[in-house]
Every structure is written in C-alpha cells, then in structure tokens.
Amino acid sequence: MYFHASTKAVILFEKWNIDSWQGMLGSCAVIFIIAALYEGLKVFREMLLRRSSVSVRYNTMPVPSQGNGANETCTMLSETHKTVGFV
C-alpha cells in the first residue's frame, strides 16, 4: 500500500480501476457502505448471541446488614469513584 497523487489507481482488486475524481468519490462511497454493512453485521451477531445465551445472574453476593454501616461506606466509595472518574 502506498500513497500517490495520480487520478489513476487500483482499489482493492486488480479489476477495480479508477481514472477520475468521480471514480474515486464513487469508490469511497462503496467502501463506506461496505464498512457500514460489516459493522451492522457485527452488531446483529452480538444481538443474536445475547438473545441465545443463557442469562447469568450476578446478584449472588449477600446483601450487607443494615445496622453495621457497610451500606453507607459502600455508597460513599461508589460516589467517590464516580466523582473521580469525571476528573
């Protein structure tokens, strides 16, 4: 791959030749559409994977008791983490 300042170029394949600025603009549009379709397929694949996977439960930790101050400490640490994260 290299850069040059000519209006004649080969894009991706030997048969995909351009020789004008209109050809370059059209080639850029086609490559953009191909890239958007590729990203859409990746999102669709993730959506199908999430839909078919078994739901995992992450709430297996016991909730701390209300009387020992653990809840307030956890809340304070969480808010501190959020505040520092914005800085």
Q: Is residue 78 included in any domain, yes or no?
A: no
Q: Is residue 2 included in any domain, yes or no?
A: yes
Return all residues near 27 (Cβ < 8 A) that are at least 6 apart: 11, 16, 18
More confident residue, 43 or 6: 43
- Using the predicted structure, report yes or no on whether residue 26 has a pLDDT greater than 90: yes
Domains contained in the chain, number: 1
Q: Is residue 58 included in any domain, yes or no?
A: no
Q: Is residue 83 included in any domain, yes or no?
A: no
Q: Is residue 39 included in any domain, yes or no?
A: yes
Looking at residue 71, its pLDDT comes to 63
Q: DSSP readout, 9-23? A: EE-SSTT-EE-SHHH
Residues 29-76: tens digit of each pLDDT: 999 999 999 999 999 999 888 877 755 555 556 665 655 666 666 677
For 42, the domain range is: 1-53
Q: Is residue 40 included in any domain, yes or no?
A: yes
Q: Is residue 19 included in any domain, yes or no?
A: yes
Q: Is residue 26 included in any domain, yes or no?
A: yes
The DSSP letter of residue 61 is S
Distances, alpha carbon 8 to alpha carbons 14, 17, 34, 46, in Å: 12, 7, 22, 40
